[in-house]
Amino acid sequence: MINLLRKNRKKLVSENSEKKSSHAFSKYLTYSIGEIILVVIGILIAIQIDDWNTKRQHHKEEVYILQSMYMDLTNDVENLETLIKWTKKRLASVDTIAKMLENPETADKQKFMSLQTNLMIDNYFVPSTGTYDEGMSSGKLSYIQDNLLREHIFDHYRLISNDRDNDNGQYKVTNELILPLFVEEVGATKSMAKTFLKSNNQLPELDLKKLAKSKKYFQMLLYTKGEEYQIGDWTNYIESATSLMQRIETSLKSF
């Protein structure tokens, strides 16, 4: 009888111990799962905050790029308008010179000489691409969220970088053709040499009658008229830049 009671007691103790152990493990498991959930939630919150900070920083960069590019484009438009103004003045001088040589006997020689300096000065467009170049090299142009605006930016800077044949061609014409002819036909005369060298010389005086029959001189005038094509390009650049500025302004106002 005593042995039977001892066996029953051991059995009850063992069962109670197993119940306690099972309950403790259940509590531990619940606690562990809770900790894991909290850690996961913390990680997700941290990722969300980091993503928000990144987007905020990218947005600041986007605003800076667009504002800087707007200023670059503004400078470009102002420079192009000045180039067009001075080039038209230069072309008008060419027309005046040609008109004066129709009647070289009555032409005002002093005025004719003053107009010659316009033939030596050519104009070329150097675009402001600092913001665009930096954005391309750093990859920050990708921060611009408006896909159409970003494509417009690419199109504009492709235009002013690739379609420059008239500028490049006219630069070559001026330096390799116009200036040598100018020096030969006009520069190597008494008055012109005295103006630039500030000394007397034994060169012959400029003969307008002779110049009026010079094929080389009129060839030089015709070369200069090629700048009309530059004006056409510059006008296109202004239109493209102005359109892009309007898109940028609209985008900045939407922020």
Greatest mean pLDDT among 143-147, 181-185, 196-200: 143-147
pLDDT at 23: 54
Give the H or E element holding residue 250: helix 227-253
89-123 residue pLDDT tens = 999 999 999 999 999 999 998 899 889 888 877 88
**pLDDT score of 189 more than 80:** yes
Sign of the torsion formed by the C-alpha atoms of 166, 168, 171 and 172: negative
64 CB-near residues (< 8 Å, 6+ apart):
none
What's the CA angle centered on 65, arms 151 and 82, to 5 degrees?
A: 85
Query: CA-based diameter of the chain, in Å?
Result: 155
Kindly give the interhelix angle for 2-100 and 227-253, rounded to the nearest 10 degrees: 150
Using CA atoms, how far apart are residues 231 and 245, in angstroms rounded to an integer?
21
The whole-number average pLDDT for the span 156-160 is 93
Question: Which pLDDT tens digit goes with each residue over 228-239?
Answer: 989 999 999 999
- pTM of this prediction? 0.76
Mean pLDDT of the residues in the chain? 85
CB 205 within 8 Å of CB 190:
yes
Q: Which of 182, 211, 191 is nearest to 116 (CA)?
A: 182
Contact by Cβ (8 Å): 131, 72: yes
121: left (phi over 0), alpha (psi -120 to 50) or beta: beta
pLDDT of 9 above 60: no
pLDDT-based confidence at 36, cuts 50/70/90?
Answer: confident
Q: Residue 190 — pLDDT band, cuts 50, 70, 90?
A: confident
- pLDDT exceeds 60 at position 25: no
* Residue 3: per-residue pLDDT: 53
Least confident residue range of 69-73, 158-162, 179-183, 191-195: 191-195
Ranges 17-26, 53-62, 127-136, 138-147: which has the least confidence: 17-26
Nearest by Cα to 248 from 63, 59, 56, 61: 63
The length of the chain is 255
Q: Which amino acid type is present at position 195?
A: T
Nearest alpha carbon to residue 116 among 227, 220, 219: 220
Tokens 């990218």 found at = 58
| 115-151 residues labelled b (16+ CB within 10 A) or e (exposed) | bbebbeebbebebbbebbeebeeeebbebbebeeeee
Copy the structure tokens of residue 76. 């470009």
Confidence of residue 13 (pLDDT cuts 50, 70, 90): very low
